[in-house]
Amino acid sequence: MKIAVTSKLSPQNTPVTDVVGLEIGSGHPEGVPAVRLRKQDGKTFLVAAGFLHLPGALPATPVAATEELSVWSLPRPFQAPHAALAVTSPLAFLRHASGAGDEADESKQVPYRTFSRTLVPDLPPLTVGLPEFQAAWAARLFPEGRQPTACSLQVASAAATNAFIASPLFKTLANTSVVLFVFPNHTSLAAFHESKLVLYREHPIGYCHVRTAISNQMRIEASLADSVLQDTFIDPVPMIEPVLKALFRQVEISSDYLLRRRNCQTQQFFVCGLPTGANYWSSIFSHMLNLPLTLFRPFEGLEKPQHAGALPEDMTAAEPFLMTALGAAQAVLEDAT
């Protein structure tokens, strides 16, 4: 089961066993997050990962999408036969449909490429949407006749969620689990009951809001806020607790909803996507809800590459920013099984 609703961009007559996932529109200062995976003998190998310097940027308007497109050529370690594209865009959406005939408000402004999938029979379908002009722009990034061939298009929030679903940890979970996928400006909450997605919500609080709280109160640059979360000289809890309590209150409300409406008692909570400060998030969460919040590392369980130079020097630090690209690639590999 996966929720990384994928728009297929090319016919696939054979299973995809070698794919590079790329997150378009991330705005990461080091470049485009990319992760190449290969599936062999029932194992998933991490072939390459990192940030690629590629030309052009995701267009924000239909007019910008008509400008001359820069064709992408990937470095050799990332030249898989197929590419899975995850798009990070403020215009994209992922949510449960509100009812029959539900139409996104966004589609009234510009045409949208949408797709819906029913994951649980008694719940509304999960609906994903991306502006058509952004979808078309992304689909043209790779030239015909050269590797890779773009084979799928996903919205970033769905791709990131699949990084959890495709993990070995997910297969061991029983009963009900809630996962927080933390992005710069929002957090996605996904609840699973017996391996089925029973709740998906997004809240406008991300790790950048934690950085801003620290920088405002300490009167330092936001770029220095992470160092405060890493050292032990200053206790940042009084500064970040009001921000996180607002987010964790929404988690508590969702947990209560699951108990009342679906008789699902949630006792397992996970968080991923945090560049730093996970111990403080867990401490505040445990104090507030009296339950543990466990850090999930999506790259655990992958077989390591067999050659040097294919990973960032500090892979641990890079992992949160590669989560979405990883999930995009895993969604395509999961299709092959």
Confidence band, pLDDT 50/70/90 cuts, at residue 251 = very high
Domain 202-295 has CATH 3.30.420.40: yes
Whether the domain at 7-166+302-335 and the domain at 202-295 fall into the same CATH topology: yes
User: pLDDT tier at 109 (50, 70, 90 boundaries)?
Assistant: confident
Q: Where residue 3 falls among pLDDT bands split at 50, 70, 90?
A: very low
Domain locations in the chain as residue ranges: 7-166+302-335, 202-295
Q: What is the pLDDT of residue 239?
A: 96
Q: Give whole-number Cα distances, 120 to 68, 125, 126, 194, in Å.
A: 43, 8, 9, 11
As a dihedral over the C-alpha atoms of residue 279, residue 283, residue 289, residue 290, rounded to 10 degrees, the angle is 110
Whether omega for the bond prior to residue 148 falls within 30 degrees of 0, making it cis, is yes
Average pLDDT rounded to a whole number, residues 248-275: 94
Per-residue H/E/C for the chain:
CCCCCCEECCCCCCCCCEEEEEEECCCCCCCEEEEEEEEECCEEEEEEEEEECCCCCCCCCHHHHCCCCCCCCCCHHHCCCEEEEEECCCCCEEEECCCCCCCCHHHHCCCEEEEEECCCCCCCCEEEEEEHHHHHHHHCCCCCCCCCEEEEEEEHHHHHHHHHHCCHHHHHCCCEEEEEEECCCCEEEEEEECCEEEEEEEECCCHHHHHHHHHHHHCCCHHHHHHHHHCCCCCCHHHHHHHHHHHHHHHHHHHHHHHHHHCCCEEEEEEECCCCCHHHHHHHHHHHHCCCEEECCCCCCCECCCCCCCCCCCHHHHHHHHHHHHHHHHHHHHHCC
pLDDT for the residue numbered 41: 87
Alpha-carbon distance of 95 to 203, in angstroms, equals 12
The whole-model pTM stands at 0.92
7-166+302-335 has which CATH code? 3.30.420
Rounded to 5 degrees, φ, ψ at 48 are: -160, 150
Q: Please write the tens of the pLDDT for every residue from 272-324.
A: 999 999 999 999 999 999 999 999 999 998 998 776 578 999 999 999 999 99
β-bridge pairing 196-203 and 126-131? unpaired
